[in-house]
Amino acid sequence: MFSYQIDENLKLMLSQQHQAEVITKVVLENLEQLKLWMPWAKDDYSIDSARAFIKANLTEYAKNGSFSASIILEETFVGGVGFHNLDLKNKSAHIGYWLAKEAQGKGIMTRCCRVLFNYLFDDLGLNRIQINCNIENVKSRAIPERLGFKLEGIHRQVEWLNEEFRDWAIYAMLKQEWKK
Amino acid sequence: MFSYQIDENLKLMLSQQHQAEVITKVVLENLEQLKLWMPWAKDDYSIDSARAFIKANLTEYAKNGSFSASIILEETFVGGVGFHNLDLKNKSAHIGYWLAKEAQGKGIMTRCCRVLFNYLFDDLGLNRIQINCNIENVKSRAIPERLGFKLEGIHRQVEWLNEEFRDWAIYAMLKQEWKK
Amino acid sequence: MFSYQIDENLKLMLSQQHQAEVITKVVLENLEQLKLWMPWAKDDYSIDSARAFIKANLTEYAKNGSFSASIILEETFVGGVGFHNLDLKNKSAHIGYWLAKEAQGKGIMTRCCRVLFNYLFDDLGLNRIQINCNIENVKSRAIPERLGFKLEGIHRQVEWLNEEFRDWAIYAMLKQEWKK
Amino acid sequence: MFSYQIDENLKLMLSQQHQAEVITKVVLENLEQLKLWMPWAKDDYSIDSARAFIKANLTEYAKNGSFSASIILEETFVGGVGFHNLDLKNKSAHIGYWLAKEAQGKGIMTRCCRVLFNYLFDDLGLNRIQINCNIENVKSRAIPERLGFKLEGIHRQVEWLNEEFRDWAIYAMLKQEWKK
Amino acid sequence: MFSYQIDENLKLMLSQQHQAEVITKVVLENLEQLKLWMPWAKDDYSIDSARAFIKANLTEYAKNGSFSASIILEETFVGGVGFHNLDLKNKSAHIGYWLAKEAQGKGIMTRCCRVLFNYLFDDLGLNRIQINCNIENVKSRAIPERLGFKLEGIHRQVEWLNEEFRDWAIYAMLKQEWKK
Amino acid sequence: MFSYQIDENLKLMLSQQHQAEVITKVVLENLEQLKLWMPWAKDDYSIDSARAFIKANLTEYAKNGSFSASIILEETFVGGVGFHNLDLKNKSAHIGYWLAKEAQGKGIMTRCCRVLFNYLFDDLGLNRIQINCNIENVKSRAIPERLGFKLEGIHRQVEWLNEEFRDWAIYAMLKQEWKK
C-alpha cells in the first residue's frame, strides 16, 4: 500500500504478500540475466521465494529500518533497490539493486538511487554508502560511476557464484561528497 | 519514507523511528482529549511510548500486514488510522483512529477511511470491517454513521477506562454494502 | 488428575495427555453435529488434534489461568466448557461449550456454567462474561437465555464456517446481574 | 479451581495465581523449619517467590504433566507434594513434599503419597519412584520407610545447603513392589 | 583445533563439525559393544548423529563449561570422556566415557579421568564427582574402582535400555579424597 | 582447558569463564594503547566485559566454528587472535588480533597467524582471508604485509571510533597464495 513517488510515472514501494505473484513473474522473465550476478536468483525461484523475501524484508524494516523497495514504473513492477548491512554505530550501509531488461537504459536506477541516498544521508543520518559490484558487471558499475562514487578497491574472489569465485569492485560515497 | 497519497495535501504514512519525536509532540498537545477515549493515552506518555508503538506497529505489519498509519496533512502529523484484529480466516478486521483537535471538522478521517476500506476489501480481500466506539464519543461515532455502517449492538461495560467501565457501540460494514 | 466436583455424578476436569483417546472417541461420535457450529470440528479430527488441544489448553492455563474443562458425567467424558479471551485489564472473558448428544437435555451445561461463572466473577474478579452463539444454533442460545444473559447485538457475517459467512448473537452478563 | 479429593477433609489442588497469598503466609510461618531442608526456603521468601513457583509449576504441568500439588486440609493450605525429574523414557520420577507443623503427625503425607503413586504408576505408566531425603531429616525419611520403599544408598555431600554439604538417603520403589 | 595434551601420544580434544566423519566411523565399528550400555548407540547411528552430538556438546560448553572430549591416541580418535549434570550450586558433576575396543586395556581411560578430575576439582572448583555404571558393565566399573571412588548404592531399574530395565552402580569421589 | 600448542612456549587457548579475571587484568594494563584501535576497549572495561566476551565467543564457536583464541606465552595471557564474519558459502573470513605491549616485537603474532591460516585454509576449507587495519595502525598493518597479503583498497571513513571517522586498509590473501 505504501510507496514513495519519485516522479509522475516512477515510484518505490514497500512490497506486501499480496504482491508476491507479480514479483515472481518479473524475476522469472529476467532469470537468465539475474543469475549472472545475483546469488538469490536460482533456477528453482518460485512464489515461495518471493513470499519469503517479502517477509524477511518487512521484518528487517520493522527491526532497524533497512529495506529493499520494489521499483514501480507506470504501475508495473520492474525491479528492486534497497540497502542492507545498516550500521548505525559507524553510520554506513550497503546498496543493492536490479532492473528488468525492458526498464533498463532510461535512467531509472539513477533516479531511484538519488531518492534513496537522500533518505540515508538525511533521514537516517548516515555518513557512508557502499556499493559492491561484480567487476564484470558493466551495467551495475555504471550506476556508482555516474553518481560520482569513488572506486576504493577490488576485493578478489570474494563471492562464490555459479561455481567460480568472483571479484568485487568496491565503491563508496561519503555524505560530504553528496550534492543533491 | 513510504506513504499513500490520498489527495493533494493529505497522505497516510507508515511511521518510522526517526518520526517518534513528531508523534510524541502531537499526542502530548492532544492528551487531555485523547485520555477520554484511548487506553494508550496516559499521563506518562513520552517519546519511549511512541518508539515502542512504532516498533510494535512495524512488526505487526511485517507479520500479517496490519498497520496503524500516520495521517499527514500538508506535511504535518495530525493523527492515526489503522486496523487490528486482522482475521484472514473469517476475513474481518477492526478499525481504529484519532485526530488532533486542529485537524477535526474537515472530513479528513472520512477520506482516510475510504482509502483504508478499499485496501481492506480489495487488496486484502476482507468481508467485514468493524468499528468499536465508546457510546459517549459522539465525534468518533459520527465516522461509521457517515460512512453507512450498521449499528449492530451495544456491548455493556466492555472496557475499563479512567476508573470506570465503559460501553461500546459496535458498528460493522460488509463488503457487499461498500460502494466506492 | 485434577477436577472440580459439581454434584454427586457431575464434575469438571482439566484434561491431560493420557485422556486424549477418550476425548477423540466422543468428538468423532458427535462430529456431524459439532461440524455445524464448531470451527475445530473437522473431518480430519484425530487423536493428534486432541493432543494438540490438550497441550494448548494447559499452556494457556499456565500462562493466564484460562482453560477449557472436560465435562465428566458418571466418570464418562461428555463435552467441554471453558473460557478464552481472558482480559484482566477490562475484567472480561468469553465462554464456550459443547455437549455430546446423549448428555443433552439434562441441564448439565447450565450446572457447569453456574460453577464456571462463580469462578470467573469471584475467584478471578471478572466483571463481564460474554457468549457468542451462531444465531441459528438454538440449543446453544438456550444456555445464556436460561441463565439470564442479555442479548446485546447481532454481529453479521462474523465467522466463515462450512463455506459461508455466519452471524453471531452476542450475549453478556455483568457481575452485578449474577445472582448465585 | 481443580483438585483431587483424597477423603472427606483432605485434597490435593493445582494452585493458581490467586492462591499465592495463602501459600506465602504458610511458608513464612514454617520458614524456620523449612530452611533446614528445602533449598527454596530462604529468608527473603515473599509473595513473588510463590507467584514464580506457581507459574513454573503450571508451565511444567502443561509441558509434561509433572506437578507440585497444594495439600488442602479442611479448606486450609498445609503443604505441598509433587514430583519432578519426570523421565518418560526410563519411566521414573522423583517425589518431593513438605508439611506445615500443625498438620504433621496425622498421616496426611502418607495418604497424599498413596494417591500420587497410583497416579504415577497407573495413569502415567511409570516403573520407578525415587525419594531423596537429607539423611538427618528423620520426619522426611519416615515417609518412604512407612510406605515400604527400599533404601538404595547414601549419596555423600550431594547438596550445598546452609553453608555446608549434606548427604542424601536415596529411597526407591518399583511398580512391582507397590500394593495399593 | 583445541586439545589438551595428556602425554606424548594421548590427548583430549574438543571435537568440531569437520571431525564428524571420523567419529562416525569409529562408533560404527564399535556399535555392537556400545549398544549394550550406551542409550545413544543405536542401529541407525549416522554422520548426522555425530553432527548433532558435536553441536549439542559445543553449545553446552559455551553455556556452562561442561563438555564431552574426544580421546585421541597417536592422532587417532578412540573414544570419548566428559561430564554432564554440572551443578555449580551444589558443586557436583557426573562423568561418562567409552573407549574403542582396540584402545582398551592400556590404562588410557584412567589417564584421561585423572586429567578431567584435576580440571573439575581445581579449575571449576567442584566438590563431588559421580559415575553411574550399569551394574553388569565390568569394564566400566573398573574405572571408578581403580581410581578410588566409593560405591554409594545400587539404583534398581533406573534405565530402560534394549527392552529391559537396568540397574546402576553409583560411585562418587569427594574433593577431599582426591590425591593427585 | 583446551589449547593449541604452537611451539615450546607459545599456545592458543579457547578461554573459559574461570579465566575472565586474567584477561581483564591484561586488557586494563594495555587499555591506553587498545583504545586507539579497538572499539571494544572502553574506559569502563571490567570483568563483566570479559565474561560477556568469553560467553559470546564460545557461543559463536558452538554455532559455526569461528572463535577468538587467547594467546598464552609461557603460561601468561598476552593477547588475542581470531576470526569472524565466517562465510562458508563464499569460503571467506576476517582476521582480528591484538597483543600486550610487553609481548610485542617477538614475532608472536606472525607465528599465531600462520597456525590460524592453516586451520582456516585446510580444516575449514576457506579460500580467502581478509584483514581490516586502521590505516594509521602501523604495527597492525605490519602483520599482513609481512605475511604476504595483498592490499586491495582503502575504505574511507568506514569506522566511527573515538569521536571521528577512520579509514581502513583492506588486505586479503587467497588460498592459492598461501605457502606454509
Residue range F148-160, pLDDT digits in tens? 999 999 999 999 9
Please say whether the beta carbons of F79 and F71 come within 8 A: yes
Q: Which residues of F144-164 are buried (b: 16+ CB within 10 A; e: fewer)?
A: beebebeebbbbbbbbbbeee
Transcribe C34-99 into DSSP letters: HHTT-TT--TT--HHHHHHHHHHHHHHHHHHS--EEEEEETTEEEEEEEEEEEETTTTEEEEEEEE
Instruction: Say what the pLDDT of residue F180 is.
Output: 54
User: How far is F89 from chain A, CA to nearest CA, in Å?
Assistant: 7
Q: What is the DSSP letter of A106?
A: S
pLDDT above 70 for C174: yes
- With contact defined as 3+ CB pairs under 8 Å, the chains touching B are A, C
Task: Give burial (CB, 10 Å; 0-12/13-18/19+) of F59.
Answer: middle
pLDDT in tens, D124-133: 999 999 999 9
Cβ contacts of D18 on chain C, cutoff 8 Å: 65, 123-124
pLDDT in tens, A38-75: 999 999 999 999 999 999 999 999 998 899 999 999 99
Test mutation, A2, A16, A88, chain B, max B CBs within 10 A? A2
pLDDT in tens, D95-117: 999 999 999 999 999 999 999 99
> Residue E163: left if φ>0, alpha if ψ -120 to 50, beta else—which one?
left
Taken in order C134, C135, C138, C142, the sign of the CA dihedral is positive
**Cross-chain Cβ contact A2/B4 below 8 Å:** yes
Q: Which residues of C33-53 are buried (b: 16+ CB within 10 A; e: fewer)?
A: bbbebbeebeeebeeebbeeb
Supply φ then ψ for residue D60, to 5 degrees.
Answer: -60, -45
Amino acid at E72: I
CB contact C158 to B (< 8 Å) = yes
Among candidates B63, B59, B138, B148, which has minimal Cα distance to B105?
Answer: B138
pLDDT in tens, C61-96: 999 889 999 999 999 999 999 999 999 999 999 999
Neighbouring C-beta atoms of residue A54, cutoff 10 Å: 21
Q: Measure CA C130 to chain center.
A: 12
All 3 cell numbers of residue E73? Answer: 591416541
User: How far is C18 from chain B, CA to nearest CA, in Å?
Assistant: 31
User: How far is D77 from chain E, CA to nearest CA, in Å?
Assistant: 30
Amino acid at B21: E
Instruction: Say what the pLDDT of residue F1 is.
Output: 87
Closest CA in chain D for residue E157: D128
Cβ contacts of B63 on chain A, cutoff 8 Å: 59
Cβ contacts of C3 on chain D, cutoff 8 Å: 2-4
The C residues from 2 to 41 touching D (CB cutoff 8 Å) are: 2-5, 12-14, 16-18
Test mutation, D126, D133, D158, D163, chain E, max E CBs within 10 A? D158
Instruction: Say what the pLDDT of residue C1 is.
Output: 87
**Cross-chain Cβ contact E152/D156 below 8 Å:** yes
Q: Which residues of D157-180 are buried (b: 16+ CB within 10 A; e: fewer)?
A: bbbbbeeebbbbbbbbbbbeebee
**Cross-chain Cβ contact B61/A65 below 8 Å:** no
All 3 cell numbers of residue E145? Answer: 574402582
C-alpha to C-alpha distance for D1 and D10, rounded to whole angstroms: 15
pLDDT band at B65 (very low <50, low <70, confident <90, very high): confident
Instruction: Say what the pLDDT of residue C180 is.
Output: 54
Instruction: Say what the pLDDT of residue A157 is.
Output: 98
Test mutation, B152, B161, B162, B168, chain C, max C CBs within 10 A? B152
Instruction: Say what the pLDDT of residue A65 is.
Output: 87
Residue keyed to cell 584477561: F23
Please say whether the beta carbons of E88 and E64 come within 8 A: yes
The HSE-up count of residue D23 (CA atoms within 13 Å, CB side) is 26
All 3 cell numbers of residue E154? Answer: 545400587
Supply φ then ψ for residue C170, to 5 degrees.
Answer: -105, 115
Cβ contacts of C14 on chain D, cutoff 8 Å: 2, 14
- Are chains E and A touching, using the cut-off of 8 Å on CB pairs and a minimum of 3 such pairs? no
pLDDT above 60 for B180: no
User: How far is B2 from chain A, CA to nearest CA, in Å?
Assistant: 5
pLDDT band at E180 (very low <50, low <70, confident <90, very high): low
Among candidates F61, F58, F66, which has minimal Cα distance to F92?
Answer: F66
Q: Which among D5, D55, D69 is the nearest to C5, CB-wise?
A: D5
C-alpha to C-alpha distance for A53 and A17, rounded to whole angstroms: 10
**Cross-chain Cβ contact C4/D1 below 8 Å:** yes
Q: Which among F61, F69, F124 is the nearest to E58, CB-wise?
A: F61
C-alpha to C-alpha distance for B125 and A17, rounded to whole angstroms: 12
Collapse the DSSP code of A34 into the 3-class scheme (helix H, G, I; strand E, B; otherwise coil) and give the result: helix
**Cross-chain Cβ contact D152/E155 below 8 Å:** yes
Cβ contacts of D2 on chain C, cutoff 8 Å: 2-4, 12-14, 69
**Cross-chain Cβ contact F155/A172 below 8 Å:** yes
**Cross-chain Cβ contact F17/E65 below 8 Å:** yes
C-alpha to C-alpha distance for C68 and C94, rounded to whole angstroms: 11
Which distant-in-sequence residues (6+ apart) come within 8 Å of A70 by Cβ? A12, A13, A14, A15, A19, A23, A77, A79, A80
* F104 vs F180, more confident: F104
Cβ contacts of C157 on chain B, cutoff 8 Å: 127-128, 174
Q: Which among C154, C158, C174 is the nearest to B156, CB-wise?
A: C174
C-alpha to C-alpha distance for E106 and A137, rounded to whole angstroms: 63
**Cross-chain Cβ contact E174/D157 below 8 Å:** yes
Q: What is the dihedral of CA E94, E98, E103, E107, to 10 degrees?
A: 20
Residue keyed to cell 600486550: F100
Q: Which among C152, C165, C174 is the nearest to B153, CB-wise?
A: C152
Count of residues in chain B:
180
In DSSP terms, B10 is beta-bridged to B7, B73
CB contact D148 to E (< 8 Å) = no
Supply φ then ψ for residue F48, to 5 degrees.
Answer: -65, -35
All 3 cell numbers of residue F9? Answer: 612456549
Taken in order D16, D17, D20, D22, the sign of the CA dihedral is negative
> Residue E161: left if φ>0, alpha if ψ -120 to 50, beta else—which one?
beta
Q: Which among C128, C154, C155 is the nearest to B157, CB-wise?
A: C128
Instruction: Say what the pLDDT of residue D180 is.
Output: 54
Please say whether the beta carbons of D170 and E153 come within 8 A: yes
- Are chains D and F touching, using the cut-off of 8 Å on CB pairs and a minimum of 3 such pairs? no
Supply φ then ψ for residue D6, to 5 degrees.
Answer: -85, -55
> Among residues of chain C, what percentage have pLDDT more than 70?
99
Transcribe C106-123 into DSSP letters: SSHHHHHHHHHHHIIIII
Please say whether the beta carbons of D68 and D80 come within 8 A: yes
Query: A146: part of which helix (H) or strand (E)?
Result: helix A138-146
Cβ contacts of A150 on chain F, cutoff 8 Å: 156
All 3 cell numbers of residue F71? Answer: 594467546
Closest CA in chain B for residue C162: B90
Residue keyed to cell 590460524: F116
pLDDT in tens, B116-151: 999 999 989 999 999 999 999 999 999 999 999 999
pLDDT in tens, E112-170: 999 999 999 998 999 999 999 999 999 999 999 999 999 999 999 999 999 999 999 99
Q: What is the DSSP letter of B118?
A: H
C-alpha to C-alpha distance for B135 and A41, rounded to whole angstroms: 55
**Cross-chain Cβ contact F14/E2 below 8 Å:** yes
pLDDT above 60 for C132: yes
Supply φ then ψ for residue D88, to 5 degrees.
Answer: -70, -25
Instruction: Say what the pLDDT of residue A180 is.
Output: 54
Task: Give E90-147 as a 3 state SS string.
Answer: CCEEEEEEEECHHHCCCCHHHHHHHHHHHHHHHHCCCCEEEEEEECCCHHHHHHHHHC
User: How far is D20 from chain C, CA to nearest CA, in Å?
Assistant: 12
Instruction: Say what the pLDDT of residue B165 is.
Output: 98
Q: What is the DSSP letter of E49?
A: H
CB contact C163 to B (< 8 Å) = no
Q: Report, as an integer, the average pLDDT of B13-35.
A: 95
Please say whether the beta carbons of A35 and A24 come within 8 A: no
User: How far is F86 from chain A, CA to nearest CA, in Å?
Assistant: 12
In DSSP terms, B164 is beta-bridged to B161
C-alpha to C-alpha distance for D121 and C19, rounded to whole angstroms: 15
Among candidates A97, A100, A113, A94, which has minimal Cα distance to A23?
Answer: A100
Q: Report, as an integer, the average pLDDT of A72-92.
A: 96
C-alpha to C-alpha distance for E63 and E57, rounded to whole angstroms: 10
> In the structure, how many helices (H) and strands (E) does chain E have?
5, 8
Chain-wide mean pLDDT for chain C? 95
C-alpha to C-alpha distance for A3 and A69, rounded to whole angstroms: 9
**Cross-chain Cβ contact E1/F123 below 8 Å:** yes
Neighbouring C-beta atoms of residue D80, cutoff 10 Å: 25
Residue keyed to cell 559490484: A133
**Cross-chain Cβ contact A157/F127 below 8 Å:** yes
Q: Which among A152, A158, A172 is the nearest to F128, CB-wise?
A: A158
The C residues from 55 to 94 touching D (CB cutoff 8 Å) are: 55, 58-59, 61-63, 65, 69
Amino acid at E8: E
